[in-house]
A and B are shown apart, each in its own frame.
Chain A
Amino acid sequence: MVNYIWVGMTVIGVLFAIVNGTMDEVNKALFVSAKEAVTLSIGLMSILVFWLGLMKIAESAGLLEKLSFLFRPLMRWLFPDIPINHPAMGYILSNMMANTFGLGNAATPLGIKAMEQMKELNGGQAKVSRSMVTFLAINTSSITLIPTTVIAIRMNYNSSNPTDIVFPTIMATAISAVGAIMIDRYFYYRRKRNGRE
């Protein structure tokens, strides 16, 4: 899908420039933006290095596991189908913690492990289980504590206070997580009413 959008934007842009007589601007934009993209990526490096380094310390110190422990009661409510001491629960928690701290690369393998365990709990069938939908609903609503990349971009464009969007981001992400959980429950009860679960 992203292929079509990408080609679409470029081709429509060029066609539009023919009609609109803005070909000069398009030519200029081509080269300026390519250069800007490289500068931006290099600019992101500073924050990425610092944050991933710091998170490695948190990970090695067992801070993420410690936090996971605090969230166990919530997990019991969110995933009533999974026994609290089942390995699936551990993977789900570690995945969420990694996501919260912006460790996308660490989160993905943990999330896949969690999915494997949930599939096993579901009798190994290639079918979506209730817990899987809940897990992915929370995952796609993206609980974030520090939106590092966004801060880096704002820094790059000389924001007067690059971190002032941290709290709004946390609030927006919390609202969308609560919304995701509510929608997930609604769909679950609807499936149940229709005798599909």
Chain B
Amino acid sequence: MAWITTISVWLIPLLICTILLYGTFKKVPTYETFVEGGKEGITMAFSIIPFLVGMLVAISVFRASGALDYMIGFVKPVLALLHVPAEIVPLAIIRPISGTAALGMTSDLISVYGPDSFIGRLAATIQGSTDTTFYVLTVYFGAVGIKKMGDALKVGLLADLIGIIAAILVVSFVFGMQ
């Protein structure tokens, strides 16, 4: 699937060019605006430090003790039939609940299995293509004072499930099975 990888590689540089040219065309002070927006990135990177420290420590304790492997051992035979690596199960469970916890798990999987491994790529794709359903619903419904979420939670969680299945299929298709 070389062409898919080529699209992936070209997309960002071309997008950058489009934005810069469009900004210049619209007479936006591009460099000053860039610097101003970039400052936000510094705050953001600093603010995720405590989240990542908390989560990565908990995950690595769980992993180093052998508890994670023990748990994975239980689900492995079932998931192997479906060609799903059991290692991503904890990520799939935590993704709809907490975005930063999932980010910690994703980086843990990438560091343990390698960024270019099947599991590493799958974790990256799941992290990028799904969202923290519970958080989104809590924030949006909370802000306008709606307590009963109706079908929204069911729909959101089913969408996450579809997203994870889609990620498994697409990553297997593009990069081949393990």
Contacts and interface: CB of A to CB of B under 8 A. Distances in A.
B8 A53 contact: no
A167 B41 CA distance: 24
Nearest to A32: B60
A168 interface: yes
Given A61-B19, A140-B131, A183 B158 contact: yes
From B11, B70, B126, residue with most partner A Cβ within 10 Å: B11
B7 interface: yes
B12 A146 contact: yes
A126 B40 contact: no
Interface of A: 1-2, 5-6, 9-10, 12-14, 16-17, 20, 22, 25-26, 28-30, 32-34, 36-38, 40-42, 44-45, 47-63, 105, 108, 111-112, 115-116, 119, 126-128, 132-133, 136-137, 139-142, 144-147, 149-150, 153-154, 156-173, 175-177, 179-180, 183-184, 187-188, 191
B56 A36 contact: yes
B44 A105 contact: yes
B136 interface: yes
B110 interface: yes
Interface in B134-174: 134, 136-137, 139-141, 143-152, 154-156, 158-160, 162-163, 166-167, 170-171, 174
A133 B157 CA distance: 12
Contacts of A38: 49, 52-53
B152 A136 contact: yes
Given A20-B66, A128-B146, A61 B23 contact: yes
Interface string B56-76: 111111111111001000000
Closest 5 CB pairs between A and B? A56-B37, A147-B128, A176-B163, A53-B38, A48-B41
Given A2-B97, A37-B56, A140-B133, A54 B34 contact: yes
Given A10-B58, A42-B45, A57-B20, A167 B94 contact: no
Given A17-B66, A165-B8, A187 B151 contact: yes
Contacts of B94: 2, 5
B53 A133 contact: no
A175 B126 CA distance: 12
